[in-house]
Chains A and B, each alone.
Chain A
C-alpha cells in the first residue's frame, strides 16, 4: 500500500498534556476509520495530518511532504473540520465559491465545482439561502461540500455525519465508500462505530494518545486470542447441539437462551467451531447463526477496557 499519510514517531503535547504519543503509522488509498473515545487524540491526529499543528517530535508527511508549512498540499487535500462554524451571512453557494477562489480556480470553474459539490450533498435547492438559516444537517452537508468541491486526492473528515438525519447519513456513507473505491485516501474520524463499519473495515484505534490497533477489523479481532469469541446459534434442538460441542477443547462456555431456542457458545477458536458444527447443525436443525462480537464496537470496547 503506497503511503499517502505517514506518521513517523510523531508526538504532540500541549504543555504537560501529551495528546499524541509516539505514533507511527501509514495510511494509503481507501477509507480508514479513525476511532477512539473522547480525548483519545483523534482530533490532534487529524490536525497534524491537515498541517494545522506541527508535531512536537517526529514527522508527519502528507503526499511525501511535511504536512506543516506546505500550503500547496491543499490543492490535493480536503478537510472537513468538526466545528460547526461558518460565515453565517454567506449563502451556501457564496461560501463554496469564496473557498474555491482561494484554491485558484477561475470564476466559471468555481461555479461549476460549487454546484457539483452542492448537488453531491443534496443542497442545490438551498444554495441561495444564508447558512445562518440552515438546519444542523444542512450545515454539516455544506461543510462536507467545501471539502469535496476541489476533488482532492485526500480527504480528512472529522465527524462528517454529525447532526444528519438517517437518509443523509446513508448518502454520506455511500459517498465515502465510493470515494474510497475510486482510490482516494479518506480518513474518517467518528464516534458512531456502526457507521464507520458501514464505510470501511480498515480502522485505526487510538486511546490515550497511542495507537491501540490498526488494520482490518476482522484481523484485529482474530488477533485477540485471550478474548473468547461468542457465537449465537438458533436451533430446533439446542440441547443436542450443546451435547455436540461441549466436549470440544476450545469451547469455554455454553449458555441457553430464555426460551430454549438459542445457544450461545464462547470459544477460543471460532473457525474450528464452525467446522465442528457442520455435522451437528443439520441434525439439531440450526436455522440461524451469527457472532455478536465480530463487530467494531466489541473490538473497541475490549481494547479500550483491556
Chain B
C-alpha cells in the first residue's frame, strides 16, 4: 500500500530513475563513441602483439605499455572525458530535452532523481571501461606466454579499483558542474587539461588535483615521463582514498542540494 502522505522512499525512487536513465544511456550513439574511446587501448594491444609477432621490437615492454595506457590514456584522458561526457549531462540533457518536467512531477525527492541518474552513469561507464582494461591487460601480458601473469593480476585489480574511483570522483565533480553551471563544457575541459597539470608540479599544489591522488594509487611509472618524473609525488594510499571519497561525497551532496533548490523553466 502506498503512503501518499510522503514521497516515494529514496532508494525506490532512485532505483526507478536508474532504470529509466540506464536504458537511454546504454543504447545511445554517445555510448558507442565512448566504447570506441575506452576500447582504443585494445587496438594498441593487438597492434603490439601483431607487430611484435613480426619481430619489429617496440621500445617498451608489455607491462610498460600497459602502464602507459592506464596512466596517460585512461586516468588522464579517457576516464575524465567519459565523466565529462556523461556526468555534466545528467540533468542538463533532461532540461534541454524538456523531459525534466516528467521527473519533477512525480512524488519523489529531487535528490533521488540525481542519485538514480548518477548510478546509471557509474554503471554505464564501468561496464564500458572495465572490460576494455581487462582485455587490454590480458592481451599485453600474454604476449610472452603466461609467465608472470599471476603476479601481475593484483596490479590489474588495483588498476580496476583506481579507474572505478576515478570515474566516481570525476563523475561527482562534473555532476556538480553540470548542475551549477549553465555551460559546464569549457570549465570541465579546462579542469581536466589545464588544472590537473598541477599534479606535475612540486610542493603542495598537486594536492589540489584529483590526478595526484589517483596516480599515487597506481604503481605504474611509464618508462619515460621526462620532467614530470622528477616532480611526480606519491601520496600515502590512505590519504588518497580519504580525499577521493570525500570529494565524491561533497560534490554529490552539493549537487543534490543545488538541484533540489533550483527552479527549472522549460518553455516551448
Contacts and interface: CB of A to CB of B under 8 A. Distances in A.
Q: Do chains A and B touch in the complex (CB under 8 A)?
A: yes
Interface of A: 14, 43, 47, 50-54, 71-79, 81-83, 85-87, 89-90, 94, 98-99, 101-105, 146
Interface in B73-115: 97-99, 101-110
Contact of B266 (A71, A78, A83, A146): A83
B24 interface: yes
Contact of A77 (B19, B20, B105): B105
Contact of A72 (B4, B19, B263, B268): B4
A83 B2 contact: no
A79 B105 contact: yes
Contact of A83 (B12, B13, B110, B268): B268
Chain B residues touching A, majority SS: loop
The winner among B17, B23, B102, B109 for most chain A CB atoms within 10 A is B102
A85 B16 contact: no
A98 B105 contact: no
Contact of A146 (B24, B97, B102, B109): B102
A51 B109 CA distance: 13
Contact of B27 (A51, A89, A99): A89
Given A72-B5, A102-B13, 19 more contacts: A14-B265, A47-B265, A51-B105, A52-B101, A52-B265, A71-B110, A72-B7, A79-B105, A81-B105, A81-B266, A83-B98, A83-B267, A85-B97, A85-B99, A85-B101, A87-B24, A89-B23, A94-B23, A102-B108
A74 B6 CA distance: 10
Contact of B107 (A54, A71, A85): A71
Given A76-B4, A89-B27, A102 B17 contact: yes
Contacts of A74: 105-108
A6 B227 CA distance: 68
B102 A99 contact: yes
B185 interface: no
B8 A102 contact: yes
A98 B19 contact: yes
Given A47-B265, A103-B8, A79 B101 contact: yes
Given A79-B101, A89-B24, A98-B19, A52 B263 contact: yes
A101 B103 CA distance: 11
A73 B12 CA distance: 17
B16 A98 contact: yes
B264 interface: yes
Interface string B212-255: 00000000000000000000000000000000000000000000
Instruction: Give the one of B98, B103, B264 with max A CB within 10 A.
Output: B98
A75 B264 contact: no
